[in-house]
Amino acid sequence: MPSSMQALVLTAYNSPLTLIGISRPRAGKGQVLVRIHASGVNPLDTKIVSGKAGHAQAQLPAVLGIDLAGVVEEIGAGVSAFKVGDEVYGMTGGIGGIQGSLAEYAAVDADLLAIKPRNISMREAAALPLIFITAWEGLVDRAKVSGGKKVLIHGGAGGVGHIAIQIASAFDAQVFASGNAAQKETIESFGATAIDYTSTTVAEYVKQYTNDAGFDIIYDTVGGATLDASFQAARLYEGHVVSCLGWGTHALAPLSFRAATYSGVFTLLPLLTGHGRAHHGAIMREATKLVEAGKLKVQLDPQRYTLDTVGAAHDAIIHRTARGKVVIDIAR
C-alpha cells in the first residue's frame, strides 16, 4: 500500500482546489481506512470554498468532500463491524477539520459507515449519505412519519426533497411535494402529488388537498419564505413543521395560532461534535435496506467528473446546471 496519496486541498477561500500529494492516513482506533471510489458533491462544498459556511467549521488547509463510497483497506483497533474488502458508504468528513473524500484514501470513524447496497454503483452510493440522513432525521427522527399521514415536502425535486418523498412513501404516508411546473414530472416520478407553488397559494393547496385541515407533516428543504409558508399549512393541533434550512428570522405566530410544532435539522452535528455518529451509521443501514428493497433511488447527474475537474463540478452546482446529484470519480 502506498505511503502517499493524491488529494485536492483548499488552501485559501475563493481559490481553486489544488491537487497535491499528501501522506496517506492509517486507520486509528475505531476507524477504517477506505480507498475512495466516489465522492458526493453537495452545495455546502461550494459554500465552504467561497468562505460562506462558517457553520461547517472548516480548517484550512482542508480536504473537502462530505460523502464517500469505497472499499475498506485496513481495520483499526476495536472495529468489528467491517472487514477488509467491504464496500461501504457514509457521510464522513470534509468539515470541522476532518479530512474529506476528495482524496484517494480516508481514515474514517467506523460508526459513520454502512455496507453499500449491493444493487447500486459506487457513484450512486456516494450521492446518498448527506441527503438521505437529512431527510431521515427530519421525517423519521423528528416528525415520526407513519402510515396515513399527509406529508408535504417543499423542494420536492431537490437533493433532500426527492429522497424525502421516497422515505415518506416507504412509511405509507400520503405524499405531496412543491415545485414549479418544469419539476412536476420529476416530483411525480418519485411518487408524490406535485403542487405548483408558482400558480397556487398556500390557502388554495391546503384547501384542495386537506380540506382546510392542514398537513400532518411539512418538511421545508428550501428555507426563507418557504418556511414561513409552511407555518400556515400545518395541521391544527397536531401539525409538525421540519426544516433543514431554518437559519433566518421567522415569525412563529402563524404556527403558534395553529397549535403546531417545529423542529430543526442540522445534519453536520455528529461530525462537528462527535455526538450521535453511531446513529448516522444506523441511518445509512436503513438507506441500504430501502435501496435493496427497490424503494429508494437517487437522481444522479450523468456528467462524469474526476479530481482534475472538480472545479467544473462545483460550477454545475453554483449555476444550477446539474440534473441530479453530482459525483466525483476518485478510484482510477
- DSSP class per residue in 44-57: HHHHHHTT--GGG-
pLDDT of residue 160 exceeding 90: yes
Mean pLDDT of 44-58: 96
pLDDT at 90 over 90: yes
Considering Cα of 223, then 226, then 228, then 230, what sign does the dihedral take?
Answer: negative
Give 98-153 pLDDT, tens digit per residue. Answer: 999 999 999 999 999 999 999 999 999 999 999 999 999 999 999 999 999 999 99
Residue with cell 438521505: 132
pLDDT number for residue 152: 98
Q: 3-class SS at 34?
A: strand
Q: So what's the pLDDT on residue 1?
A: 76
Q: Which CATH fold topology does 4-128+275-329 show? A: Quinone Oxidoreductase; Chain A, domain 1 (3.90.180)
Q: Given this model, what pLDDT does residue 19 score?
A: 97
Q: Which of 184, 238, 229 is nearest to 204 (CA)?
A: 229
Check: CB of residue 30 under 8 Å from CB of residue 66.
no
Beta strands per DSSP E along the chain: 4-9, 18-23, 31-41, 67-75, 87-91, 105-109, 113-115, 150-154, 174-179, 193-196, 217-220, 240-243, 261-264, 305-306, 326-329
Alpha carbons 295 and 156: distance in angstroms, whole number: 16
Domain extents in the chain: 4-128+275-329, 131-264
Is the pLDDT higher at 218 or at 248? 218
Which pLDDT band, with edges at 50, 70 and 90, does 37 fall under? very high
List all residues 6 or more positions away from 261 whose beta carbon is below 8 Å from its beta carbon: 239, 240, 241, 255
Superfamily of domain 131-264: NAD(P)-binding Rossmann-like Domain (3.40.50.720)
Burial of 325 (0-12, 13-18, 19+ CB in 10 A): buried
Summarised one tens digit per residue, pLDDT across range 8-36 is: 999 999 999 999 999 999 999 999 999 99
**pLDDT class of 2 with cuts at 50, 70, 90:** confident
213 contacts 231 by C-beta, under 8 angstroms: no
Residues with Cβ within 8 Å of 45's Cβ and at least 6 positions away in sequence, in order, are 64, 65, 66, 94, 314, 317
Q: Which bin fits 274, alpha (ψ -120 to 50), beta or left (φ > 0)?
A: left
Q: Choose among 273, 325, 332, 261: nearest CA to 123.
A: 325
The average pLDDT across 185-204 equals 97
Q: Which band of pLDDT confidence, cut at 50, 70 and 90, is reported for residue 161?
A: very high
Write the pLDDT tens digit of every residue in 282-316.
999 999 999 999 999 999 999 999 999 999 999 99
DSSP 8-state class, residue 112: G
Of all residues in the chain, what percent carry a pLDDT higher than 70? 100
| Number of residues in the chain | 332
Q: Which pLDDT value is given to residue 133? A: 98
Q: CB pairs under 8 A, 24+ apart, for 271-276? A: 271/91, 271/92, 271/93, 271/95, 271/96, 271/98, 271/112, 272/57, 272/95, 272/96
Q: What's the confidence (pLDDT) of residue 69?
A: 98
The residues pairing with 107 across neighbouring beta strands, listed in sequence order, are 33
C-alpha angle 314-60-7 in degrees, rounded to nearest 5: 60
Strand 193-196 relative to strand 305-306, pairing: unpaired
Site of grid cell 472499499 = 71
In the predicted model, is pLDDT for residue 332 greater than 80?
no
Mean pLDDT over the full length of the chain: 97
For the segment 196-201, the average pLDDT, to the nearest whole number, is 96
Instruction: Say if residues 173 and 147 touch (Cβ distance below 8 Å).
Output: yes
Average pLDDT over residues 216-220: 98
- pLDDT-derived band at 254 (thresholds 50, 70, 90) equals very high
The pLDDT value given to residue 99: 98
As a whole number, mean pLDDT of residues 37-41 equals 98
